[in-house]
Chain A
Amino acid sequence: MYGFDDWEECTVCTHERHRTIGSPFPSLLRSPALVDRWIPRLNHIRPLQAPPLLLIARARHRSLRKRSQQTPQFLLFERRRTTTLWSNTTNTPTTMAEDALLGFLQTHDEISDSHDFAASLGVAHTDLENLIKSLKGFEIVDAKEITRDSWVLTEEGKSYVLNGSPEVQFFLAIPPEGISKAALREKLGADVYDVGSKSAAKNRWVGFDKEQITRKVESVKDDIKDLLKRIDNGEGLDDKVVNDLKRRKLITKHTWRGYSLRKGPKYVSKRKKAATDLTREHLQRGDWKDLEFKEYNLNAQGQPIQIGYLQPLLEACLTSYFAFSFWNFDALFQPQQHPARDSHDTFFLKVPATTRQLPEDYVEKVKRVHESGGYGSKGYGYDWKRDEAEKNLLRTHTTAVSTRMLYMLAQQKTFSPKRYYSIDRVFRNEAVDRTHLAEFHQIEGLICDRGLTLGDLIGVLEDFFSRLGMSKLRFKPAYNPYTEPSMEIFSYHEGLKKWVEVGNSGMFRPEMLLPMGLPEDVNVIAWGLSLERPTMILYGIDNIRDLFGPKVDFNLIKSNPLCRLGLQ
Chain B
Amino acid sequence: MPTVSVGRDRLFQAIGQTYTQEEFEALCFEFGIELDDVTTEKAIIRKEKHLEDEAEEGDEEVIYKIEVAANRYDLLCLEGIARALRIFTGREGIPVFKISNIPPQSMLKMHVKPETSLIRPFVVCAVLRGVTFDEAKYNSFIDLQDKLHHNICRRRTLVAIGTHDLDALEGPFSYEALPPTEINFVPLKQAKSFRADELLEFYKSDMKLKKFLPIIENSPVYPVIYDSNRKVLSLPPIINGAHSAITLNTKNVFIECTATDLTKAKIVLNTVVTMFSEYCERKFEVEPVEVIYSDGKASIYPDLSVTKMEVPLSDITGPIGISLEESEVIPLLNKMQLQAEKSVSADANHIISVSVPPTRSDILHARDVMEDVAIAYGYNNIPKSKPKCMTNGGRQPLNRFSDKIRAEVARAGYLEVLTWILCSHEENFSMLKREDDGKKAVIIANPRSSEFEVVRTSLMSCLLKTLKHNIDHPRPIKIFEVGDVVTLDATHDVGAANNRRLAALYCNVTSGFEEILGLVERIMKIVRAPHVPVGDSFMRPSEEPEFFPNRQCSIIFKGKEIGNFGIVHPEVLKKFGIPDPCSFVEIDIQALL
Q: Which residues from chain A sit less than 8 Å from chain B, CB to CB?
A: 19-20, 22-23, 64-65, 67-70, 306-311, 313-314, 316-324, 337, 339, 343, 347-353, 355, 357-358, 373, 375-382, 392, 394, 417-419, 425, 427, 429-432, 437-439, 447, 449, 451-456, 458-460, 462-463, 474-479, 481, 484-487, 507, 509-511, 523, 525, 547-555, 557-558
Bound CA–CA A259/B384 (angstroms): 80
Question: Contacts of A307 on B, CB cut-off 8 Å?
Answer: 410-411, 413
Are A417 and B455 touching (Cβ within 8 A)?
no
Q: Are A456 and B386 in contact (CB-based, < 8 A)?
A: yes
Bound-complex Cα distance A460 to B400 (A): 25
Chain B positions 303-340 with a Cβ under 8 Å from a chain A Cβ: 307, 318-322
B38 interfacial by beta-carbon distance below 8 Å: no
Q: Is the CB of B415 within 8 A of A525?
A: no
A352: B residues at CB distance < 8 A: 442, 488, 494-496
Complex interface: chain B residues within 8 A of A427 (CB): 422
Q: Is there contact, CB below 8 Å, between A316 and B396?
A: yes
Known: A20-B476, A310-B406. 9 other contacts (CB 8 A): A70-B474, A321-B421, A321-B486, A352-B442, A439-B422, A456-B385, A458-B385, A523-B319, A550-B420
B462 contacts chain A at the CB level, 8 A cutoff: yes
Determine how close the nearest CB of chain B comes to the CB of A176; give it in whole angstroms: 74
Given A376-B366, A438-B420, are A316 and B402 also a contact pair (CB < 8 Å)?
A: yes
Check A454/B32 contact, CB under 8 A, given A316-B395, A449-B387, A552-B417: no
Q: Are A65 and B474 in contact (CB under 8 A)?
A: yes
CA A248 to CA B416, docked complex, whole Å: 66
CB distance B414 to A477 under 8 Å? no
> Within the assembled complex, what's the spacing in Å between the Cα atoms of A68 and B507?
13
Q: How far is the CB of A310 from chain B (nearest CB, A)?
A: 5
Residues of A contacting B418 in the complex (Cβ-Cβ under 8 angstroms): 311, 313-314, 547-549, 552
Whether, in the assembled complex, B403 has its beta carbon less than 8 Å from a beta carbon of chain A, the answer is yes
Q: Do B387 and A549 touch (CB < 8 A)? A: no
Question: Could you tell me the distance between the alpha carbons of A551 and B496 in the complex, rounded to whole angstroms?
Answer: 28
Whether, in the assembled complex, B445 has its beta carbon less than 8 Å from a beta carbon of chain A, the answer is yes
Q: Say whether B446 contacts A347, CB under 8 Å.
A: yes
Give A354's nearest chain B residue, CB to CB. Answer: B495
Query: Would you give the shortest CB distance from B12 to chain A, in whole angstroms?
Result: 22
Known: A308-B415, A321-B498. Is A382-B261 also a contact (CB below 8 A)?
yes
Let me know if B31 and A349 touch, CB within 8 A: no
Of the candidate stretches B106-114, B285-293, B367-375, B545-553, the one touching chain A is B367-375
* Bound Cα distance A546, B101 (Å): 67
Interface segment out of the listed B65-73, B193-201, B273-281: B65-73
Chain B residue contacts of A481, Cβ below 8 A: 71
Q: Are the CB atoms of B443 and A476 closer together than 8 Å?
A: no
Partner of A509, one of B158, B367, B442, B446: B367
Nearest chain B residue, comparing its CB with the CB of A337:
B154
Is the C-beta of B475 less than 8 angstroms from some C-beta in chain A? yes
Pick the residue among B31, B72, B514 that contacts A23 (CB under 8 A): B514
Chain B residue contacts of A418, Cβ below 8 A: 391
- Compute how far the CA of A320 lies from the CA of B389 in the bound complex, rounded to whole angstroms: 29
Contact present for B474 and A69 (CB under 8 Å): yes
With an 8 A cutoff between CB atoms, is B407 at the interface? yes
CB distance from B69 to the nearest CB of A (A): 4
List A contacts of B31 (CB < 8 A).
Answer: 477
A417 CA to B388 CA, complexed, in Å: 10
CB < 8 Å: which of B262, B387, B474 contacts A456? B387
List the B side residues contacting A23 at CB < 8 Å: 514
- Nearest CB of chain A from residue B84's CB, rounded to whole Å: 12
* 28 residue pairs from A and B, CB less than 8 Å apart: A308-B414, A308-B480, A318-B399, A320-B497, A321-B455, A321-B486, A343-B445, A347-B446, A358-B493, A373-B365, A377-B365, A382-B261, A431-B448, A452-B319, A453-B321, A454-B320, A455-B321, A456-B387, A477-B371, A477-B374, A479-B71, A484-B367, A486-B371, A547-B418, A548-B419, A549-B420, A554-B473, A554-B477
Bound together, the chains give a CA A555 to CA B472 distance in angstroms of 11
Q: How far is the CA of A486 from the CA of B375 in the complex (A)?
A: 10
Residues of B near any A CB (own CB < 8 A): 1, 29, 31-32, 34, 69-72, 151, 154, 158, 261-264, 307, 318-322, 362, 364-368, 370-371, 374-375, 379-380, 382-391, 393, 395-396, 398-400, 402-403, 406-407, 409-422, 438, 441-449, 451-452, 455, 462, 465-466, 468-470, 472-480, 484, 486, 488, 492-498, 508-510, 514-515, 518, 580
Task: Report Cα–Cα, A199/B479, bound state, in Å.
Answer: 74
> A324 CA to B495 CA in the complex, in Å?
10
Query: How near does chain A come to B133, taking the closest CB pair, in angstroms?
Result: 31
CA of A452 to CA of B362, assembled, Å: 24
The answer to whether A485 and B370 touch across the interface, beta carbons within 8 angstroms, is yes
Given the known inter-chain contacts A309-B410, A311-B418, please indicate yes or no for A380 contacting B446, CB distance below 8 A.
Answer: no
Given A392-B494, A475-B379, A509-B367, check contact A455 B384 (CB 8 Å): yes
Q: Are B494 and A550 in contact (CB under 8 A)?
A: no
Specify the chain B residue showing the minimal Cβ separation from A475. Answer: B379
Q: Name the CB-closest residue of B to A508.
A: B367
Pair A455/B367 contact, Cβ less than 8 Å: no
The reply to whether A439 and B318 form a contact with Cβ atoms under 8 Å apart is no
Q: A337 and B158: CB pair below 8 A?
A: yes
State the total of A-B contacts with C-beta under 8 angstroms. 289
Residues of chain B with a CB closer than 8 A to A485's CB: 367, 370-371, 374-375, 379
Output the nearest chain A residue to B410 by Cβ-Cβ distance.
Answer: A308
User: Whole-angstrom distance between the alpha carbons of A547 and B416 in the complex?
Assistant: 11
Cα distance, A343 to B327, chains bound together (Å): 48
| Residues of A contacting B385 in the complex (Cβ-Cβ under 8 angstroms) | 453, 455-456, 458-459
Once bound together, how far apart are the Cα atoms of A418 and B410, in whole Å? Answer: 35
5 cross-chain pairs, A with B, having the tightest CB-CB distances, nearest first: A477-B32, A455-B321, A453-B321, A352-B495, A308-B410
Q: Which residue in chain A gives the minimum CB-CB distance to B363?
A: A378
Contact between chains at A459 and B384 (CB < 8 Å): yes
Residue in B320, B419, B518 whose CB lies within 8 Å of A455: B320
Q: Tell me whether A550 and B466 are in contact (CB under 8 A).
A: yes
Shortest C-beta distance, A166 to chain B (Å), equals 55
A319 to B398, CA, bound (A): 10
- Contact residues in B for A463 (Cβ distance below 8 Å): 386
Question: CA–CA, A462 to B409, complex, Å?
Answer: 36
A22 and B510 CA atoms in complex are apart in Å by 8
In the assembled complex, how far is the CB of residue B72 from the closest CB belonging to chain A, in whole angstroms? 7
Cα-based distance from A554 to B471 in the complex (angstroms): 10
Residue on A with the closest CB to B380? Answer: A474
Which residues does chain A contribute within 8 Å of B367, judged by CB atoms?
Answer: 484-485, 507, 509-510
Q: Give A343 to B474 CA distance when docked, in angstroms.
A: 43
Q: Which residues of A contact B493 (CB under 8 A)?
A: 324, 355, 357-358
Q: Name the B residues within 8 Å of A347 (CB-CB).
A: 422, 444-447, 452
- Report chain A residues within 8 Å CB of B70: 339, 479
Query: Is A456 in contact with B494, judged by CB distance below 8 angstroms?
Result: no
B495 adjacent to A392 (CB under 8 Å): yes
How far does the Cβ of A194 sit from chain B's closest Cβ, in whole Å?
53
Q: With a CB–CB cut-off of 8 A, which chain A residues contact B492?
A: 320
Distance in angstroms from A498 CB to nearest chain B CB is 11
Say yes or no: B446 contacts A429, CB within 8 Å.
Answer: yes
Q: Which residue of A lies closest to B479 (CB)?
A: A554
**Complex: how many Å from CA A148 to CA B400?**
74
Closest approach, in angstroms, between the C-beta of A100 and any C-beta of chain B?
46
B380 near A68 with CB under 8 A, answer no
Q: A308-B478, A453-B319 are in contact. Are A373 and B364 (CB under 8 A)?
A: yes
Given known A308-B410, A392-B494, contact A476–B320 (CB-CB < 8 A) = no
Min CB distance, B401 to chain A, in Å? 10
B176 → A minimal CB distance (Å): 24
Which chain A residue has the least Cβ–Cβ distance from B1? A479
Complex contacts, B447 vs chain A, CB 8 Å: 347, 429
Task: Tell me, in angstroms, the Cα distance from A388 to B448 when the chains sit together.
Answer: 21
Which chain A residue has the least Cβ–Cβ distance from B477? A554
| Interchain CB contact under 8 A, A378 and B364 | yes
Q: Which of B391, B409, B410, B493 has the most CB of A within 10 A?
A: B493
A74 smallest CB distance to B (angstroms) = 13
Tell which of A314, A348, A454, A525 touches B446, judged by Cβ atoms closer than 8 Å: A348
